[in-house]
Amino acid sequence: MIVVDRGRCTGCRLCVRECPVGAMVMEQRLAVVGSACVECGLCVRLCSRDALARNNDEQEPRVQCDSCPISCLIPAGFKGACRRYTNRGGSWFWKPRFWYRLAVGPET
Ligand code: SF4
Ligand code: SF4
């Protein structure tokens, strides 16, 4: 999971603005990682204060998406960083956008 070093966070909000799934929020002017986090690692790379890090603490079961090298760990009911794949009941599911279904036809 992603953890915040509250002693280093300056509350600049960069991670909140850039998180692709809106998982990062501000509480009392410090960053807090919410339950939608898929551990894409973007915020860890962006934080110039080194206030964010990944650790190996246990967390609820997640599905690891293998559609791209980011390999999001998607919590149940949430989407991956690309916003295309959803964890539904322990497996990831892709629902094509309307325009894609219109152009290509329904999935078989
Ligand atoms: S980018 Fe770093 S310093 Fe800025 S709010 Fe996020 S954790 Fe804090
Ligand atoms: S690791 Fe990715 S999904 Fe999780 S809070 Fe950071 S930017 Fe958002």
pLDDT, one tens digit per residue, over 34-82 is: 999 999 999 999 999 999 999 988 778 899 999 899 999 999 999 999 9
Average pLDDT, the chain: 90
Which CATH number is 46's domain given? 3.30.70.20
Q: What residue numbers bound the domain in which 37 lies? A: 2-104
**What is the number of domains present in the chain?**
1
**Element containing residue 88 per DSSP (H, E):** strand 85-88
CA 2 to chain centroid, in Å, comes to: 10
Whether 31 lines ligand 1, by a CB cut-off of 6 Å, is yes
H, E, C per residue of 27-55:
ECCEEEECCCCCCCCHHHHHCCCCCEEEC
Instruction: Point out the ligand nearest to the CA of residue 6.
Output: 1
Q: What SS3 class is residue 79?
A: strand
Q: How far apart are CA 69 and CA 72, in angstroms?
A: 9
